[in-house]
Amino acid sequence: MKEKIYNELGISEKVLNYSEEILNGLKERFEKIDRIAEINQLKVIKAMQKNRLAAEHFESSTGYGYDDAGRETLEKIYADVFGAEDALVRPTLTCGTHALTVALSANVRPGDEILSPVGKPYDTLEGVIGIRPQKGSLAEYGVTYAQVDLLKNGDFDLEGIKNAINEKTKLVTIQRSKGYEPRKTLSVERIGELIAFIKSVKPEVICMVDNCYGEFVEEIEPTEVGADMCVGSLIKNPGGGLAPIGGYIVGRADLVENCAFRLTAPGLGKEVGATLGLNRSFIQGLFLAPVVTAGALKGAIFAANLYEKAGFECVPDAKEERYDIIQAVKLGSPEGLIAFCKGIQAGAPVDSYVTPEPWPMPGYHSDVIMAAGAFIQGSSIELSADGPLYPPYAVYFQGGLTWYHAKLGIMKSFQEMVNAGLINMGDLER
């Protein structure tokens, strides 16, 4: 029955057999992922019980949103799950970039400097900071930016970081995931070591972690190893596929308060902000997030093993430990990148009949192709893939609300590559 349905979905017998052979060698790794998911599931349940989550907290608020018990309880739950003092979890944080913008602009002032010790940040932040000129950037408000690239072997350039920290350095931003740079994602342990070094040079500096795509992949979060703030999007890991919008900021209470004043207005802060019926989705999404993230993580490992055996360079490679849900595959040509994304789109439950095409997407400095047949627009905890149209033509694959959907999507991408003549199954069978 299973083979018949896969065939009806466009997966050939050769690709199916090749995939099952790959999966037979991944059972031990998948068991480890399930153990981490169990720990994170228990952490979420413990936080919900501690904060006496009740049915009344699912109720909606409108207007000013005063005394929204569900919103206040959710933020206490987030703080406990992330081991932080306070949290800001709001639908008015429209995306991860917006949440990062609020966190940065709330905690720096004209004359301050932001330092990235891990190289260039994600494309959409370039305009926020002012690396790429943009109206309303922090650079227009007199905030400067400094950057220290990683060493060629991926290590931190500690000497360069030490020299870059000066009297103006107010905030250090650490991007956990790779963005559109095919580098290794940072583990929570490495982030902790980097923060400890930075604090040894300048103890009062604020260390903020862009935590997008990394939540619940490990047993602990960056706020548990010294990060002053962690920031992310609810349509990635922590929303569990149910949050239709939103972002979060967790960390030191004074810094989170600054963020609340920036998001709403000075003097109002966290006291206002109607939830408009979204409390249930936010809370239930967080409840499901550890298991949903585990499925996406299995998909990333499966993709790396499938494509690496076929001769493509993968970051992380097939055997490396995982610290986020993103899998980069260097496809080497625009045809490969487009074929991969077509396969992902064809494996979606929504808009599977649509053909993705590269286009000049706002916030990016090159044409980008994106495949995402999602229940929630742009949700990258759902099955999705994207990449910029420039060498090495790397695709960045992530998501899958269930492991089985992630598996199908990866197989569809592989099948599309085969159909396009970019992979020869005969070579793999020898």
The pLDDT of residue 110 is above 60: yes
* Confidence (pLDDT) at 362: 72
Share of the chain above pLDDT 70, in %: 99
What would you report as the CA-atom Rg of the chain, rounded to the nearest whole angstrom? 21
Name the pLDDT band for 363 (thresholds 50, 70, 90).
low
* Confidence (pLDDT) at 195: 98
pLDDT in tens, 147-192: 999 999 999 999 999 999 999 999 999 999 987 776 789 999 999 9
Share of the chain above pLDDT 90, in %: 92
Contact 33, 218 (CB under 8 A): no
* Confidence (pLDDT) at 303: 97
Q: Read off the pLDDT of each residue in 357-378 and give the average, rounded to a whole number.
A: 86
For CA atoms 124, 117, 144, 110, the dihedral sign is: positive
Q: Read off the pLDDT of each residue in 107-121 and give the average, rounded to a whole number.
A: 97
Q: Read off the pLDDT of each residue in 378-397 and give the average, rounded to a whole number.
A: 92
Say what the pTM is. 0.95
Q: Read off the pLDDT of each residue in 222-234 and give the average, rounded to a whole number.
A: 98
Per-residue tokens: 178: 């790779």
Rounded to whole angstroms, the Cα distance separating 285 from 281 reads: 6
The pLDDT of residue 112 is above 60: yes
* Confidence (pLDDT) at 407: 97
Number of H helices, E strands in the chain: 13, 12
* Confidence (pLDDT) at 366: 80
Better-predicted residue by pLDDT, 281 or 178: 281
Longest dimension (CA), the chain: 69
* Confidence (pLDDT) at 158: 98
Contact 191, 323 (CB under 8 A): no
Total residues found in the chain within this entry? 430
Residues 6+ apart with CB under 8 A from 166: 113
User: What are the boundaries of each domain within the chain?
Assistant: 2-40+287-429, 61-277
Per-residue tokens: 125: 């932040």
Residues 6+ apart with CB under 8 A from 91: 245, 246, 275, 276, 278, 282
Per-residue tokens: 177: 């995931």
Name the pLDDT band for 430 (thresholds 50, 70, 90).
low
Residues 6+ apart with CB under 8 A from 172: 114, 115, 116, 117, 198, 205, 206, 207, 208
Per-residue tokens: 171: 């905030």
State the pairing for strand pair 229-233/313-315: unpaired
Per-residue tokens: 291: 């298991």
Strand ranges in 189-240 using DSSP code E only, listed in sequence order = 206-210, 229-233
Rounded to whole angstroms, the Cα distance separating 197 from 205 reads: 11
Contact 195, 156 (CB under 8 A): no
Q: What is the CATH number of domain 61-277?
A: 3.40.640.10
Alpha helices by DSSP H, 87-187: 96-107, 123-129, 158-164
* Confidence (pLDDT) at 99: 98
* Confidence (pLDDT) at 122: 87
pLDDT in tens, 31-71: 999 999 999 999 999 999 999 999 999 999 999 999 999 99
Which element (helix H / strand E) includes 19? helix 13-24
Contact 14, 426 (CB under 8 A): no
Name the pLDDT band for 87 (thresholds 50, 70, 90).
very high
* Confidence (pLDDT) at 108: 98
Which of these, 132, 123, 107, 120, lies nearest to 207 by C-alpha position?
107
For CA atoms 7, 330, 380, 136, the dihedral sign is: negative
CATH superfamily of 2-40+287-429: Methioning gamme-lyase, C-terminal domain (3.90.1150.60)
Per-residue tokens: 107: 């905690």
pLDDT in tens, 303-362: 999 999 999 999 999 999 999 999 999 999 999 999 999 999 999 999 999 999 998 877
Respond yes or no on whether the N-terminal peptide bond of residue 244 is cis (omega within 30° of 0): no
Q: Read off the pLDDT of each residue in 88-95 and give the average, rounded to a whole number.
A: 97
The pLDDT of residue 429 is above 70: no
Work out the mean pLDDT of the chain and round it to a whole number: 95
* Confidence (pLDDT) at 422: 93
